[in-house]
Amino acid sequence: MQFSVTPESITEIPADCLVVPVWKDGGLGEEASALDAADSGALGRIAASGDYLWDIGDAHLLHGPEGCAAGRILLAGAGAPEDFGAMEAAKYLAGNARFVLARNMPQVHFALADLEANRPDAQWLAARLAQEAEVAAYRYTTTKASTKREAVLESVTTPALADELEQALRKGQAIGRGMNRARELGNLPGNICTPEYLASHARELADGSGKLSVDVLDEAQMRELGMGSLLSVAAGSVEEARLIVLHYRGAREARGKGAGDDGKPVVLVGKGITFDTGGISLKPGLAMDEMKFDMCGAASVLGTVAAVAELQLPINLIGMVAAAENMPGGKATKPGDIVTSMSGKTIEILNTDAEGRLVLCDALTYAERFEPACVIDIATLTGAAVAAFGNHANVMLGNDQALMDRLLQCGLDSLDRAWQLPLWDEYQKQLDSNFADMANIGGKLAGTITAACFLSRYTENFSWAHLDIAGSAWHSEGAKKGATGRPVPLLMEFLLNLPEKD
Ligand code: BES
Ligand code: MN
Ligand code: ZN
Measured from the CA of 451, which atom of ligand 1 is nearest?
A: 19
CATH homologous superfamily, domain 2-159? Leucine Aminopeptidase, subunit E, domain 1 (3.40.220.10)
Strand partners, 376: 268, 465
Ligand 1 pocket, residue 384 CB under 6 Å: yes
Indicate the residue type of 220.
A
Answer yes or no: 283 catalytic. Answer: yes
Count of beta carbons in the 10 Å neighbourhood of residue 463: 18
Distances (CA, A) of 147 to 97, 103, 150, 151: 20, 16, 8, 12
Distance 278 CA to ligand 1 centre (A): 8
Cβ-proximal residues to 118 (8 Å cutoff; 6+ apart), any chain: 81, 84
Count of beta carbons in the 10 Å neighbourhood of residue 129: 31
Measured from the CA of 291, which atom of ligand 1 is nearest?
A: 1
For 226, counting Cβ atoms within 10 Å of its Cβ (0-12 exposed, 13-18 middle, 19+ buried), the class is middle
Q: In this structure, which residue's CA is closest to atom 9 in ligand 1?
A: 383
Q: Which helix (H) or strand (E) holds 203?
A: helix 195-207
Closest ligand by atom to 351 CA: 1
Cβ pair 194, 237 in contact under 8 A:
no
Count of beta carbons in the 10 Å neighbourhood of residue 223: 13
| pLDDT value of position 261 | 47
Cβ-proximal residues to 66 (8 Å cutoff; 6+ apart), any chain: 38, 39, 40, 42
Of the candidates 24, 183, 357, 406, the residue annotated as catalytic is 357
| pLDDT value of position 255 | 47
Of the candidates 170, 255, 283, 501, the residue annotated as catalytic is 283
Distance 466 CA to ligand 1 centre (A): 16
Parallel/antiparallel/unpaired status of strands 72-77 and 59-63: antiparallel
Q: Which of 288, 382, 449 to mutate to test the pocket of ligand 1 (most atoms within 8 A of CB)?
A: 382
* Sign (positive or negative) of CA dihedral 432, 435, 436, 439: negative
Q: Rounded to whole angstroms, how far apart are CA atoms 193 and 201? A: 10
Instruction: Single out the residue of 387, 368, 375, 388 nearest to residue 491, CA to CA.
Output: 375
Measured from the CA of 294, which atom of ligand 1 is nearest?
A: 1
Distance 332 CA to ligand 3 centre (A): 15
Cβ pair 183, 483 in contact under 8 A:
yes
Q: In this structure, which residue's CA is closest to atom 13 in ligand 1?
A: 353
Ligand 1 pocket, residue 470 CB under 6 Å: yes
Ligand 1 pocket, residue 356 CB under 6 Å: yes
Each domain of the chain, given as residue ranges in start order, spans 2-159, 178-496
| pLDDT value of position 119 | 66
Q: Rounded to whole angstroms, how far apart are CA atoms 362 and 502? A: 33
Q: Which helix (H) or strand (E) holds 324?
A: strand 316-326
For Cα atoms 362, 363, 364, give the angle at the middle one, nearest 5 degrees.
90
251-257 LR contacts (CB < 8 Å, sep 24+):
251/314, 251/315, 251/316, 252/314, 255/501, 255/502, 256/314, 256/315, 256/316, 256/501, 257/314, 257/315, 257/498, 257/499, 257/500, 257/501
Q: In this structure, which residue's CA is closest to atom 3 in ligand 1?
A: 382
Closest ligand by atom to 272 CA: 3
| pLDDT value of position 117 | 56
Distance 12 CA to ligand 2 centre (A): 57
What pTM was computed for the model?
A: 0.97
Ligand 1 pocket, residue 276 CB under 6 Å: yes
Ligand 1 pocket, residue 382 CB under 6 Å: yes
Distance 383 CA to ligand 3 centre (A): 9
Cβ pair 312, 295 in contact under 8 A:
no
Distance 376 CA to ligand 1 centre (A): 20
**178-496 maps to CATH 3.30.565.10:** no
| pLDDT value of position 501 | 64
Which residues of the chain fall short of a pLDDT of 50? Answer: 254-256, 259-261
DSSP secondary structure code for residue 425 in this structure: G
Ligand 1 pocket, residue 383 CB under 6 Å: yes
Answer yes or no: 271 catalytic. Answer: no
Strand partners, 267: 318, 375
Phi and psi angles of residue 34, each rounded to the nearest 5 degrees, phi first: -65, -40
